[in-house]
Structure 1
Amino acid sequence: MSAAQRHAVRQLLRIAPVVDELGERFTAAGQELALVGGSVRDALLDRLGQDLDFTTSARPEQTKRLLSGWAESVWDVGEAYGTIGASKAGFQIEVTTYRSDVYDRASRKPQVAYGETISDDLVRRDFTINAMALRLPSREFVDPHGGLPDLGRKVIRTPGTPETSFSDDPLRMMRAARFAAQLGFQVAPEVIDAMRRMADRLDIISAERIRDELTKLLLSDDPRAGLTLLVDTGLADRMLPELPALRLEIDEHHRHKDVYEHSLTVLEQAIELEDRLPDGGPDLTIRLAALLHDIGKPKTRKFEPGGGVSFHHHDVVGAKMARKRLTKLRFPSATVDAVSKLTELHLRFHGYGTGQWTDSAVRRYIRDAGDLLDHLHVLTRSDCTTRNPRKAKALQRSYDSLEERIEQLAEQEELQKIRPDLDGNQIMAILGLTPGPVVGRAYKHMLDIRMDRGPLSEEEATAELLKWWAEQPEAAG
């Protein structure tokens, strides 16, 4: 028995009570049942979690009846696609009827067709490593397409021709890149060739499905491998064109960093620093921000006299571009806002210089970052990819100094909760105003005062408000 098979046996013993009971239940009803796909693959890789996937000869309504009374809960959200879900003993279970789908080449969704055998089901799966099954309760291993050898070689191949598989579901091209990132596997040359030739087929896939696949890739252990494959095959041009656009030409007269490689390195360095974040990692917001923080550079690049290159305002331009792209990919608005803000703020630290920022400047840095301050710390530290050790250490010391000052100020003042020394009600009472735009302007002025000078007494704050009010045209009226 190979090491992989021994690992699988240990995993299967852990889930045996559930899978054996379920297998016997379906067999008694005259139906076939098999553990399938990612569950078998992960068992062989000794990484099986709590999600178990099964395939069956039973139709969805029959599956629902067989699960009812055995499972702790049953749901039919995926019934239209032949899938019934359930939970049992801490496991999340999905049982799907054998599929033999028919795809309309211009449609984003398959026309669901049920198969009659497990062979019908396995041949339609995306890759050979996901086209293995374990019949239950007999535990007969089924591997008609050589998934086990491919798993041993760490190779991603398709059960049939790549062209057929990708025509059926073009998202599988992105999935190949995701598995390369998640598993550390190599994609077979013929699969890569098909990805290059068929990249434009990705255009028929919904933004939501692309977003979900990109998210899984970014949250993997090695997103660089998957992203590189997306760029090299032209798939990124179809769904994240800002990434390949970072590959700016570099010549001997206009030397500057390779922005594309720099961005991938920043992503890797941000991943290494994720333990600094409140929830640890993996963290989608910081990974997206690290990848996209410089996407404004191609649009702002300017060749300066003397051979230099500048990218003025690429932070502001990049923030707008990030917002537009992530919105188009249907990312949640909170994620869009966070990544856009981090992109806009990622250069702010470089004004810190030799640590001569005033307390007011530090307060504004904290105020502008808000709840994303820890993310901004990670992004800024990750954005140092210089090969000059002395420069790298100087930047690190400078940022250490800024963080120390932030902590010191935070102890003195509740910086995360900075508010003016007078609230809206106090402003209206002092100036005799009713709610309206003038109160908003007064509030903003008092907030600026608070940022510049720190906390004031009520008497001092009132004096500042009255001084401001005396200069306003409304006061004269």
Structure 2
Amino acid sequence: MNVREKEALQIVRSLVDSGFRAVFAGGCVRDRILGVEPKDYDIATDARPEVVQKMFDRTVAVGAKFGVIGVVLDHDKPIEVATFRADAEYTDGRRPSSVRFGAIEEDAIRRDFTINGMFYDPLAEHLIDLVGGMRDLRDGVLRAIGNPAERFEEDHLRILRAVRFAARFNFTIEPATWDAMKLAAPKIVAIAAERIGEEIVMMMTEGAAARAMDLMMDSGLMQLLLPEVVRMRGCAQPENFHPEGDVYTHTRIGVAMLPAGCTETVAFGILLHDIAKPQCRAVTGDKVTFYGHTDDGAVMAANMLARLKRSRAVQERVAYLVKNHLKLCMAPRMRPATLKRMLGEDGFGELMDVAFMDAMASSSYLGYWHFCKRAMSTMTPTEIRPPRLIGGEDLKQLGFTPGPRFKEILKDVEDHQLDGALETREAALEYVRAHYAA
């Protein structure tokens, strides 16, 4: 039993000892049944929010008007305790206009999918399944609770959540639920970009990103949210370099290699590494080229991630991965200084990951990748990024005036240092005296 489960159990026991009903609810119940350690625990109870706040010393009003209170025990992260409720009409496609506290039966039928609508009494060790969730877990089916059109109308984000859950668990989406998803898909644009971005990140990093891509495509969601990805379909590539097929097929094969728990930057790096190929494709005689797709792709990737409200750091890292994903191919022919600079770049480890998936999704040639791997394992961090032999103050003392030339001289000296031609400060100063006039 991990720490979070112990804390959740402690909260349940406190509520029950005070005369209330309290159970685990939602995703943690589903994950326990599937043998997956829950990321977190949610508790449902008939105790009112104000009562929960009085019972525990440290609480956070996560969503008090919706009956949700965060209880903080030994760790700073709160465990959500929600009062059994029935929801009033949803007017914004995201949240109910109001709630009415009610019974566990009402709480079950207001939830999204049957596999997320079960409860578990940890004290009695008893599953409470009022919506057929256990049946659908056994059968590998994702089914909306009640009328699927109504569930998606209540909260449009559930359309994306359906894709994520079906992909993550490799479940079939029940036909009526699938039909309702496709009809409701255009309404997803009304949801805040941050929420959409968060769902897509989870799809890409939970270990079933290729299946999520398929469902996004087939439901019409990709066309609405990431139309640039759709344009890769049918963008033909030279068979000698890409026997696997068009740009989309190549990208999907790479995405299928993403492991659960990968970073979002690696995930978007492989998804978007060839995103500009359709607009850069040119045919001259029998030759097909994609000149400039790495530079254009870096700009496109950053713009797409900005649209999804991902952080500036994520935008910049993914742009770096897209811009440089072919750079490793030149590694065996690089001068030592250029190679060391590349190995020392912030993000080079993730660039190696993207380059590996890119290669395995096409010709499977990994000679340059293994070359970089050997270089990384045989060189120390100090060899890759040694302390500078000289700096700006040294150039001033040699009679140089500060300006753009400083950068040129210092880079030249550093190149020779990384090449192994200059090893001491004295040698570097002598090199400058011999090759540059103050």
Q: Which residue of 1 aligns with 2:334?
A: 357
- 1:231–1:243: 8 Å Cα contact kept in structure 2? no
Q: Which residue of 2 aligns with 1:229?
A: 215
Q: Which residue of 1 aligns with 2:428?
A: 461
Question: Could you tell me how far 1:360 is from its partner in structure 2?
Answer: 3.4
What stretches of structure 1 of length at least 5 have no aligned partner?
A: 1-10, 275-280
Question: Could you tell me how far 1:398 is from its partner in structure 2?
Answer: 3.7
2-structure distance, mates of 1:429, 1:110: 71
- The correspondence of residues 94-243 of structure 1 with structure 2, limited to 5 A, is 94-102=80-88, 104-106=90-92, 108-134=94-120, 141-243=127-229
Question: Could you tell me how far 1:155 is from its partner in structure 2?
Answer: 0.5
SS in structure 2 at match of 1:414: helix
2-structure distance, mates of 1:205, 1:34: 31
In structure 2, what residue type is equivalent to 1:210? I
2-structure distance, mates of 1:16, 1:251: 55
In structure 2, what residue type is equivalent to 1:75? V
Question: Could you tell me how far 1:197 is from its partner in structure 2?
Answer: 1.5
The yes-or-no answer on 1:258 pairing with 2:226 is no
In structure 1, what residue type is equivalent to 2:357? S
Question: Could you tell me how far 1:168 is from its partner in structure 2?
Answer: 1.0
Equivalent of 1:335 in 303, 314, 319: 314
Question: Could you tell me how far 1:216 is from its partner in structure 2?
Answer: 1.6
How many residues align? The count is 434
- The correspondence of residues 384-403 of structure 1 with structure 2, limited to 5 A, is 384-385=359-360, 392=364, 395-403=365-373
- 1:100–1:112: 8 Å Cα contact kept in structure 2? no
Q: Which residue of 2 aligns with 1:284?
A: 264
2-structure distance, mates of 1:418, 1:16: 49
Distance 1:397 1:440, change over 3 A: closer
Q: Which residue of 1 aligns with 2:296?
A: 317
Residues 117-161 of structure 1 show CA distances to partners (whole Å, capped at 9, x for unaligned) of: 222222221101111123576666432321111111111111122
2-structure distance, mates of 1:454, 1:86: 63
Which range moved further: 93-102 or 320-329?
93-102
- 1:362–1:406: 8 Å Cα contact kept in structure 2? no
Residues 144-182 of structure 1 show CA distances to partners (whole Å, capped at 9, x for unaligned) of: 321111111111111122211111111111111111222
- 1:133–1:141: 8 Å Cα contact kept in structure 2? yes
Distance 1:362 1:432, change over 3 A: closer
1-structure distance, mates of 2:396, 2:62: 54
Equivalent of 2:59 in 45, 65, 74: 74
- 2:356–2:369: 8 Å Cα contact kept in structure 1? yes
Which range moved further: 29-38 or 337-346?
29-38
SS in structure 2 at match of 1:371: coil
Q: Which residue of 1 aligns with 2:256?
A: 268
Question: Could you tell me how far 1:30 is from its partner in structure 2?
Answer: 5.1
SS in structure 1 at match of 2:44: strand
Question: Could you tell me how far 1:229 is from its partner in structure 2?
Answer: 0.5
- 2:91–2:97: 8 Å Cα contact kept in structure 1? no
TM-score (norm 2): 0.86
Distance 1:188 1:255, change over 3 A: farther
Question: Could you tell me how far 1:290 is from its partner in structure 2?
Answer: 1.3
What stretches of structure 2 of length at least 5 have no aligned partner?
A: none
Question: Could you tell me how far 1:81 is from its partner in structure 2?
Answer: 3.8
In structure 2, what residue type is equivalent to 1:384? A
2-structure distance, mates of 1:360, 1:216: 39
SS in structure 2 at match of 1:269: coil
The yes-or-no answer on 1:47 pairing with 2:48 is no
SS in structure 2 at match of 1:243: helix
2-structure distance, mates of 1:252, 1:440: 42
Q: Could you list the structure 1 runs, at least 4 aligned residues long, displaced by more than 6 angstroms after superposition.
A: 251-255
CA RMSD, Structure 1 to Structure 2 (Å): 3.3
Distance 1:374 1:251, change over 3 A: closer
Question: Could you tell me how far 1:415 is from its partner in structure 2?
Answer: 4.4
Distance 1:77 1:454, change over 3 A: farther
Q: Give the share of equivalent positions with the same residue, in percent.
A: 28
Question: Could you tell me how far 1:109 is from its partner in structure 2?
Answer: 4.5
2-structure distance, mates of 1:265, 1:253: 16
Question: Could you tell me how far 1:371 is from its partner in structure 2?
Answer: 2.4
TM-score (norm 1): 0.80
- 2:251–2:361: 8 Å Cα contact kept in structure 1? no
Which range moved further: 199-208 or 23-32?
23-32
Residues 288-334 of structure 1 show CA distances to partners (whole Å, capped at 9, x for unaligned) of: 2111111111111112312x322111111111111111122121222
Q: Which residue of 1 aligns with 2:382?
A: 414
Q: Which residue of 1 aligns with 2:393?
A: 425
